A and B are shown apart, each in its own frame.
Chain A
Amino acid sequence: MTRNFWLLSSLIFGLIFVGLFSVNNVPILLALPLLVYLGFAIAYMPPAPSLEASRELSTLDSSLGKPIDVKVRVVNESKFLEEISLVDNVRGSHSLVIVKGGLSKRLSLVNGESADLIYTVAGQRGRYSFEGVQAQISEHFGVFQNEYFIPARAQLSIFPEITKLRSIKIRPRQTRGFAGPILARIGGAGTDFYGVREYQLGDPLRRINWKLSSRYPQSLFTNESEQERIADVGLILDARQQSDINSKEGMLFEHSVNATGSLADAFLRDGHRVGLYIYGYSVERIFPGYGKIQRENILKALSRAHTGVNFALENLNFLSTRFFPPKTQLVMVSPLKPEDLNPLVRLHSTGYELLIVSPNPIHFEIQKYDRQKNPELDLAFRLAMIERILMLRKLRRAGIQVIDWRVESSLDQVVYQAVRRHPAGNRILQIAS
C-alpha cells in the first residue's frame, strides 16, 4: 500500500465523518468519487507475480575504460501486470558509468512476456556485484504498489591498467628446477660462460676448452655454461592507507596497483612462479603459480584491492615472510614510509632478495600545489625529498634494489634503466664501493 492509499482512505474517512456529524450530505457526496476510485484500485490490485530474471554480461573480466554490455531479461510468468518498474542493482567499490542505455524501465507485461534492460557500462578498476532487479508492481492508479527483488547475480572485475614491461632481470638467491631466463649461479646447460672444470665422461667434445687443456697434457677441461632457470617471485603491494596520497590526479595507490599488475604480467611472461601479497587493510594472498590462470587470479585480486586502516598492520613488522619460499625474489610496490626502513632491512637479511618499486609520493602530492606562489612549500618539498633520498640510499646500502618511480614517467623505462644500471650481480661490489 502506498501513501496514496492512506491519503484516499483518510480523505474518505474525513469527508464521511464531517458529513455525518454536520448532518450534511454534501461532504458524503464529495467522498463518493474517491470511494469509487479506491474501489477500482482494489478491483485491479496487482497480483502476486512470478518473475524470473537472467543476466548476461559481454565479459566477466574487463579492463579499464572498456565498455561492457549488460543485458537483464525479466520474464513474467504470472497474470497481466499493468505497471511494472524494473531497476537494476549494481554494487561496487567504485562507480560504474552508464555509457549507453539505462538501469531502469517501466512497462506493462502480459503473461509470458519478457522485458529487457540493456545497457553498456564502463568503469574504473574494481569488483562489481550485480545482485538483481528491483521490481515495483502497481495498478494504473498507483494506489497499490508491491516491491519485489528478483535475483540475477553476476560479478564483474575490471582489471588494473597493465603496461607491457620488458623482461626484468632479477637475480634471486635461489632458483627453481625448470629452465627459464635467470642465471642460476650453477654450472650446466646454458648460453652464458660460467667456468671451466675437469672433463667428465659424456661431455660433448665441442665443449672442451682446448687452449687450457693444451697447457696440462695429462688432463682435459670442459667449458661450463651457467644454467638458466625460473625463479619464485613474490609481489607485495602496500595497501596501507597511511602510505597512500590523494590528489587531483587520483590516488597514488592506483598507480601502485597498476605497477603491481604490470610486474606480475612481466614475470609470468618470463615463466616465473609468481605470488601476490596485499598488505594493508587486511592480508590478501594469492599463492605462487604459473601462467595465464595465475595472471588472471592476480589481476582479480588487484581489481578488488583497496586501501584501508588496520592498526595491526600499520607497519611492515608484521609482514609475513612464511608465505613465500625461502630465498625468493621479493618485489615490493610501496611509496615507503620512513619507519619502513628497519623492517625492510630485516626482511632482506633473512635471505630474501628484495626489489622495491616505489612510486614517489612527494612528487605526486606536490602536483596539487603551486610551488611558484608559495616559497615555503618549495622548501618543504625539498626537505621531504632529501629525507626520502636519504632513506632510499640507506636501503640501497643494505643491498636492497630500489626504483624511485615518478608516476608520470613510464614504468617500463624506469624499471628497465634501473635494472640495467644496477645489475644485481654487482650488489657486493656496490656495497664495497
Chain B
Amino acid sequence: MKITKYFLISAFLIAALITSFAFWEIDSWVGIGITLFWLILWWVSQSAASNFMPSIFFVGFIFICLVGSFWGLRPSLSFLGVIAVLNAWDSDRFYRRWKGVENNQSMRNIERKHLIRILAVDGTAVILAAIGLSFKAQLNFGIILLCGFLAVISLSRLISLLRNHSQGS
C-alpha cells in the first residue's frame, strides 16, 4: 500500500498548500489557520478505526472552500483544493479498506488501477472546468430557476434509477 500512502500524503500537502495560498492571497490568516488545523486533525485521525472520519473531514474541507469562495478566494485555487481533498478522501478510504491485505503484485496492480482512475477523474474535472470557465453566459432568474428545477429532477431520477439497479442486482 505504499503507492496509496504516498498519494494520500501528497494530496494532503497539495490541498493544504493550495488552500492556504488562496487564503493568503486575500490576507485571511483565520482561513489559513482553519485550513491547516482541519487538515492536521484529519491527518492525526488516520489511526482512528472509525470509517466516518475521512467523510467528516472531507465535508468540512468542502465547507471551508465554499465559505472561502464567498470571502473572495480565487475560484481556480478553491477548485484545485477541492480536487486535492477529493483525492485525499478517496485514498484515505481506499487505504482503510485494503490496509490488512498482503502487499503482492496483484495488490500493486489494484493500487495502480485505482490511482489511474482517480487521476482520470482529476483530469476530466480540470478539462470540464476549463471549458466551463471559458464560457460566459448571462442568465435571468427564470432560467436559473428552470436550471435548478431540472437539476433536482434529473438528480432524483438518477438516484432512483441507481437505487432500483442496486436492489435489482
Measured CA separation A12–B100 after assembly (Å): 32
The smallest C-beta distance from A68 to any residue of chain B, in angstroms, reads: 23
Q: Are A34 and B86 interface neighbours, CB within 8 A?
A: yes
The smallest C-beta distance from B81 to any residue of chain A, in angstroms, reads: 9
Which chain A residues lie closer than 8 Å to B93 at the CB level?
A: 4, 142
Select the stretch in A44-52, A233-241, A270-278 that faces chain B: A44-52
What residue in chain B is nearest A42 (Cβ atoms)? B162
Which chain A residues lie closer than 8 Å to B122 at the CB level?
A: 33
Q: A32-B129, A37-B86 are in contact. Are A45 and B97 (CB under 8 A)?
A: no
Q: Are B97 and A36 interface neighbours, CB within 8 A?
A: no
Measured CA separation A376–B114 after assembly (Å): 70
The smallest C-beta distance from B142 to any residue of chain A, in angstroms, reads: 12
Measured CA separation A3–B56 after assembly (Å): 12
Measured CA separation A42–B106 after assembly (Å): 24
What residue in chain A is nearest B117 (Cβ atoms)? A140
Q: Are A1 and B147 interface neighbours, CB within 8 A?
A: no
Q: A1-B163, A30-B66, A40-B120 are in contact. Are A140 and B82 (CB under 8 A)?
A: no
A26 contacts partner chain B, Cβ-Cβ < 8 Å: yes
B34 contacts partner chain A, Cβ-Cβ < 8 Å: no
Task: Give residues 45-76 of B contacting A (CB, 8 Å).
Answer: 55, 58-59, 62, 65-66, 69-70, 73, 75
A59 contacts partner chain B, Cβ-Cβ < 8 Å: no
Q: A36-B125, A40-B120 are in contact. Are A24 and B69 (CB under 8 A)?
A: yes
What residue in chain B is nearest A20 (Cβ atoms)? B148
B151 contacts partner chain A, Cβ-Cβ < 8 Å: yes
What residue in chain B is nearest A43 (Cβ atoms)? B117
Q: Are A146 and B169 interface neighbours, CB within 8 A?
A: yes
Task: Give residues 96-121 of B contacting A (CB, 8 Å).
Answer: 97-98, 100-101, 106, 109-110, 113-114, 117-118, 120-121
Q: Are A44 and B128 interface neighbours, CB within 8 A?
A: no
Give 1 or 0 for each of B134-169: 1 = CB within 8 Å of chain A CB: 000000000010011001100100010011011011
Q: Are B117 and A141 interface neighbours, CB within 8 A?
A: yes
Q: Give the contacting residue for A1; candidates B144, B148, B162; CB below 8 A.
A: B162
Measured CA separation A7–B166 after assembly (Å): 17
The smallest C-beta distance from B151 to any residue of chain A, in angstroms, reads: 6
What residue in chain A is nearest B101 (Cβ atoms)? A106
B94 contacts partner chain A, Cβ-Cβ < 8 Å: yes
Q: Are A140 and B113 interface neighbours, CB within 8 A?
A: yes
Measured CA separation A124–B66 after assembly (Å): 58
A11 contacts partner chain B, Cβ-Cβ < 8 Å: yes
Q: A26-B78, A142-B93, A142-B94 are in contact. Are A13 and B162 (CB under 8 A)?
A: no
A29 contacts partner chain B, Cβ-Cβ < 8 Å: yes
B10 contacts partner chain A, Cβ-Cβ < 8 Å: no
Q: Are B69 and A30 interface neighbours, CB within 8 A?
A: yes
A-B residue pair count with CB separations less than 8 angstroms: 118
Measured CA separation A12–B69 after assembly (Å): 16
The size bracket of the interface on A is: 35 or more
Which chain B residues lie closer than 8 Å to A1 at the CB level?
A: 162-163, 166
Measured CA separation A108–B125 after assembly (Å): 27
Q: Are A36 and B124 interface neighbours, CB within 8 A?
A: yes
Q: Are A44 and B133 interface neighbours, CB within 8 A?
A: no
Measured CA separation A198–B132 after assembly (Å): 123
A9 contacts partner chain B, Cβ-Cβ < 8 Å: yes
A144 contacts partner chain B, Cβ-Cβ < 8 Å: yes
Which chain B residues lie closer than 8 Å to A21 at the CB level?
A: 148
Q: Are A40 and B117 interface neighbours, CB within 8 A?
A: yes
Measured CA separation A21–B148 after assembly (Å): 9
Which chain A residues lie closer than 8 Å to B133 at the CB level?
A: 29
A367 contacts partner chain B, Cβ-Cβ < 8 Å: no
Q: A30-B79, A33-B121 are in contact. Are A4 and B55 (CB under 8 A)?
A: yes
The smallest C-beta distance from A36 to any residue of chain B, in angstroms, reads: 4
The smallest C-beta distance from B127 to any residue of chain A, in angstroms, reads: 9
A383 contacts partner chain B, Cβ-Cβ < 8 Å: no
Q: A4-B55, A108-B106, A140-B114 are in contact. Are A33 and B83 (CB under 8 A)?
A: yes
Measured CA separation A82–B111 after assembly (Å): 11
Q: Give the contacting residue for A25; candidates B75, B83, B109; CB below 8 A.
A: B75
A210 contacts partner chain B, Cβ-Cβ < 8 Å: no
The smallest C-beta distance from A27 to any residue of chain B, in angstroms, reads: 6
A301 contacts partner chain B, Cβ-Cβ < 8 Å: no
A380 contacts partner chain B, Cβ-Cβ < 8 Å: no
A362 contacts partner chain B, Cβ-Cβ < 8 Å: no
Measured CA separation A68–B88 after assembly (Å): 43
Give 1 or 0 for each of A178-207: 1 = CB within 8 Å of chain B CB: 000000000000000000000000000000
Measured CA separation A40–B159 after assembly (Å): 15
Q: Are A7 and B59 interface neighbours, CB within 8 A?
A: yes
What residue in chain A is nearest B135 (Cβ atoms)? A25
What residue in chain A is nearest B66 (Cβ atoms)? A27
Q: Are A15 and B106 interface neighbours, CB within 8 A?
A: no
Q: Are B117 and A27 interface neighbours, CB within 8 A?
A: no
A16 contacts partner chain B, Cβ-Cβ < 8 Å: yes
A17 contacts partner chain B, Cβ-Cβ < 8 Å: yes
Q: Are A40 and B121 interface neighbours, CB within 8 A?
A: yes
Which chain B residues lie closer than 8 Å to A34 at the CB level?
A: 82, 86
Closest 5 CB pairs of A and B: A48-B169, A26-B69, A33-B125, A140-B114, A36-B125
Taking A13-B151, A107-B110 as known contacts, 14 extra A-B pairs with beta carbons closer than 8 A to each other, sorted by chain A number, are A4-B55, A20-B148, A21-B148, A26-B69, A27-B66, A29-B78, A29-B133, A32-B125, A32-B128, A36-B121, A37-B125, A108-B109, A140-B94, A142-B97
> Can you list 13 A-B pairs with a CB-CB distance of less than 8 A?
A3-B55, A11-B59, A13-B155, A26-B69, A29-B79, A29-B133, A32-B128, A33-B83, A45-B165, A47-B169, A82-B110, A106-B98, A108-B106
